């Protein structure tokens, strides 16, 4: 029986770089975007330098581009793959780095497949037992599961449970299209619809398409996808800060101090820093942080590594540098690019 208090990732097989022990992968839907130049991929995390003819991937870069029926007119950055509608894939020259997207009907037919990776797109309402069984016997299939229903979370959760009950190990990519009048609502729905699924160990990837007032925004979709994964602690791609809300006990200007620490450390990868206003409750509130910067008296700071005190009551003036030194000692420091 599953322990409800412990994190369990749904067991999945590895298909290409998706599923099993791989971090959840980020897909972007570029099927409606006009992509004609390499520079057009900047919004989804890939920077092209024409002088050196080289691509640079950022910490938050899409790994799979869903291009629909319009493949990229140039070679995709290395380490990425294009997902093409099945008919387009069939006639494309590169049938290895490009992979096909099947609808359910096509997938259940005897249509030719990719040797390594086949993406099957399915609305949750059409996920039948037959389909789950077919997927179970296919070591190349990845399910791109979508739902237009308002009850996105519960529908997805039910589908994941059905697959779990059948001991199916096909990786699942959640597809979600979110349109809302304001950015706040988009962020809220992305968090409530998807966050819980990843926290509960479901999901081997995410294809999020978000927009406000009718305009889809690829850069926002990408950023939000990585933020959902980071908040669910399933893929850390940037520094994370935990700060207390502040109260009468707070011993320093929390906003100013947080911005100062952020300005020195926001380029680090996967480091969690707690910034707490007092030593009475601070250490408890930052229980899962890697490092803690905690007010312990007027103009005094105590620094933590996890829950262990490393430097007690040091002057505020040198405390940020001392925090950086601790991170360096742990070999978790990198210089800013």
State which of residues 257, 277, 296, 301 lies at the interface with ligand SF4 (CB under 6 A): 277
Q: Is the dihedral of CA 28, 172, 203, 80 positive or negative?
A: negative
Residue 276 found at the interface with ligand SF4 (CB under 6 A): yes
Q: CB under 8 Å to 147, separation ≥6 — which residues?
A: 123, 124, 125, 155, 156, 176
- For the bound state, the minimum distance from the C-beta of residue 287 to ligand SF4, rounded and expressed in Å, comes to 12
Q: What are phi and psi of 213, to 5 degrees?
A: 50, 45
Residue 9 found at the interface with ligand SF4 (CB under 6 A): no
Residue 250 found at the interface with ligand SF4 (CB under 6 A): yes
Please identify, among the stretches 66-74, 77-85, 232-240, 274-282, the one whose residues bind ligand SF4 according to the rule CB under 6 A: 274-282
Please identify, among the stretches 25-33, 65-73, 174-182, 246-254, the one whose residues bind ligand SF4 according to the rule CB under 6 A: 246-254
Residue 292 found at the interface with ligand SF4 (CB under 6 A): no
Please identify, among the stretches 13-21, 133-141, 143-151, 279-287, the one whose residues bind ligand SF4 according to the rule CB under 6 A: 279-287
Joined together, the tokens standing for residue 60 give 């938050």
Cα–Cα distance measured from residue 58 to residue 46, given in angstroms and rounded to the nearest whole number? 7
Please identify, among the stretches 52-60, 65-73, 186-194, 276-284, the one whose residues bind ligand SF4 according to the rule CB under 6 A: 276-284
State which of residues 226, 282, 293, 314 lies at the interface with ligand SF4 (CB under 6 A): 282
Asked whether the beta carbons of 25 and 204 are under 8 A apart, the reply is: yes
- Count of residues in contact with ligand SF4, rule CB under 6 A: 13
Kindly tell me which of 207 and 276 has the beta carbon lying closer to ligand SF4.
Answer: 276
Long-range contacts of 317-320 (CB under 8 A, 24+ apart): 319/293, 320/260, 320/261, 320/264, 320/293
State which of residues 238, 249, 262, 264 lies at the interface with ligand SF4 (CB under 6 A): 249
- For the bound state, the minimum distance from the C-beta of residue 282 to ligand SF4, rounded and expressed in Å, comes to 4
Residue 245 found at the interface with ligand SF4 (CB under 6 A): yes
Cα–Cα distance measured from residue 289 to residue 219, given in angstroms and rounded to the nearest whole number? 28
Closest to 205 in 3D by CA, of 11, 18, 31: 18
- For the bound state, the minimum distance from the C-beta of residue 28 to ligand SF4, rounded and expressed in Å, comes to 38
- For the bound state, the minimum distance from the C-beta of residue 252 to ligand SF4, rounded and expressed in Å, comes to 9
Counted residue by residue, the chain has a size of 337
Cα–Cα distance measured from residue 271 to residue 265, given in angstroms and rounded to the nearest whole number? 9
Residue 75: its H or E element: none
Asked whether the beta carbons of 297 and 313 are under 8 A apart, the reply is: yes
Please identify, among the stretches 58-66, 74-82, 281-289, 322-330, the one whose residues bind ligand SF4 according to the rule CB under 6 A: 281-289
Binding site for ligand SF4 (CB under 6 A): 244-247, 249-250, 276-278, 280-282, 285
């Amino acid at each position: 029986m599953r322990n409800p208090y412990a994190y369990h990732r749904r067991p999945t097989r590895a298909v290409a770089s998706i599923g099993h022990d791989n971090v959840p992968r980020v897909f972007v839907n570029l099927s409606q975007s006009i992509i004609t130049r390499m520079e057009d991929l900047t919004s989804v995390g890939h920077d092209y330098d024409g002088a050196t003819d080289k691509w640079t991937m950022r910490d938050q870069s899409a790994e799979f581009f869903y291009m629909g029926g319009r493949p990229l007119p140039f070679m995709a950055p290395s380490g990425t793959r294009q997902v093409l509608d099945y008919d387009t894939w069939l006639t494309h020259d590169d049938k290895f780095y490009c992979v096909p997207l099947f609808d359910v009907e096509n997938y259940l037919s005897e249509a030719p497949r990719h040797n390594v990776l086949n993406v099957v797109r399915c609305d949750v309402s059409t996920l039948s037992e037959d389909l789950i069984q077919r997927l179970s016997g296919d070591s190349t299939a990845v399910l791109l599961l979508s739902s237009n229903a308002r009850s996105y979370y519960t529908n997805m959760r039910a589908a994941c449970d059905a697959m779990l009950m059948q001991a199916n190990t096909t990786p699942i990519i959640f597809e979600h299209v979110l349109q809302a009048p304001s950015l706040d609502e988009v962020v809220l729905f992305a968090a409530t619809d998807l966050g819980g699924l990843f926290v509960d160990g479901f999901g081997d990837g995410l294809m999020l398409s978000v927009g406000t007032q009718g305009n889809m925004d690829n850069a926002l979709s990408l950023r939000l996808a990585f933020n959902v994964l980071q908040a669910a602690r399933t893929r850390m791609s940037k520094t994370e800060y935990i700060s207390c809300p502040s109260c009468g006990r707070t011993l320093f200007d929390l906003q100013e101090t947080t911005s100062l620490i952020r300005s020195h450390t926001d380029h680090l990868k996967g480091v969690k820093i707690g910034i707490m206003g007092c030593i009475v409750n601070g250490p408890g509130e930052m229980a899962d942080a890697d490092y803690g910067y905690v007010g312990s008296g007027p103009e005094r700071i105590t620094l933590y590594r996890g829950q262990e005190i490393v430097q007690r009551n040091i002057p505020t003036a040198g405390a940020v540098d001392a925090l950086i030194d601790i991170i360096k000692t742990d070999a978790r420091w990198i210089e800013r690019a």
